[in-house]
Amino acid sequence: MEQVRLTALMERTVGSSSVTIGLIDGPVHVAHPAMDPTGISSLGSSASCDRVNSVACVHGTFVAGILHARRGGLAPAICPGCTLLVRSIFPEDDGRAFPSCEPAELALAIYECVRAGARVLNLSLGLLGSAPTGERALVGALDYAASRGVLVVAASGNQGSVGGSALTRHLAVLPVVAADTGGRVIGVSNVSASIGRHGLAAPGEDVVSLSPDGGTRTFGGTSAASPFVAGTIALLWSLFPNLPAARIRHAVAQMTTRRTSIIPPVLDAQAAWDALVQTPAARGARWYPTRSVV
């Protein structure tokens, strides 16, 4: 947490229930003792896991723990006071080694989350195929999210390749690569010119979060890095609820200078706070912890 200077921001607030994070991922083991199920809702099928040992459930629970676990445990628990809207997109009987989906499937999930009131979307997933119709549907969904003032945070992918996708190239998306404990981008992260221009790096090595068996797991990669950025955005929006999406994104993504590298900078939550508190719309506004620490 200190690597991305997130601790001070988390001390200011646990998040507001009026800020909804759309988690497009696997189902979540909401009965985990470190998870507060009262702040979790679902779209479509139940948010809960049917098979706690499935790849989809393990992945969804892990990412959810980074965002929505109770404070004081081993998971990061960035925004437990926010509302977590789970839109399960990975079937538990899929058998895939890594959760992934078709672009058209993701497009539908984005539309549903935005219409349900999500202000931030976390996409810790990989895309399958590249059919033009599917990509057009995805671009349309991302355009729709942008038009509704929704910020989309997406994992860049773990193939260690140079080159973007229809997801990471879209200007409405804030793509995230994984960094090690020293802040260096790890080799599995996909990078590209577009990711370098408008993306961020976040913790993606030896991240500890919740496991469906009731304990914790240690994972890495861009799926683990993405919710650090999404959670930071949700905390900032909890403290500055009236600021527009463009202002929040500008502060979080550190868009103060033109970038030329394919490697994005590391998330700096404190710098984002400092930038927003100086915003004319925020000066004189009353901000305060929206809930006591849970």
pLDDT score for 12: 96
- The whole-number pLDDT of residue 267 equals 97
| CB neighbour burial string for 25-62, b if at least 16 within 10 angstroms, e if fewer | bbbbbbebebbbeebbebbeeebbbeebebbbbbbbbb
Measure the CA dihedral 68/156/112/116, to 10°: 40
Q: What is the CATH T-level fold of the domain 7-277, as seen in this structure?
A: Rossmann fold (3.40.50)
In the prediction, which pLDDT does 152 show? 98
Element holding 218 (H helix, E strand):
strand 216-219
- 173: β partners: 152
- The 3-state DSSP class for residue 285 equals coil
Domains in the chain: boundaries: 7-277
Give mean pLDDT in consecutive 10-residue pieces for the chain, a chain of 294 residues. Answer: 94 97 95 92 80 91 97 95 95 70 93 98 88 87 97 94 90 95 92 94 97 96 97 97 95 83 94 88 48 40
The single-letter DSSP state of residue 184 is P
- What confidence score (pLDDT) does residue 287 get? 46
Q: What is the pLDDT of residues 141-176, one digit of tens each?
A: 999 999 999 999 999 999 999 988 889 999 999 999
pLDDT of residue 284: 44
pLDDT at 51: 87
Buried b / exposed e along 237-247 (16+ C-beta atoms within 10 A): bbbbeebebeb
pLDDT of residue 48: 79
Straight-line distance from the first to the last Cα atom of the chain, in angstroms, rounded to the nearest whole number: 18
- Residues paired with 40 in a beta bridge: 84
Burial 151-181 (b: 16+ CB within 10 A, else e): bbbbbbbbeeeeebbbbbbbebbbbbbbbbe
> Taking a C-beta distance cutoff of 8 angstroms, is the pair 101, 89 a contact?
yes
* Residue 184 φ/ψ, nearest 5 degrees: -90, 140
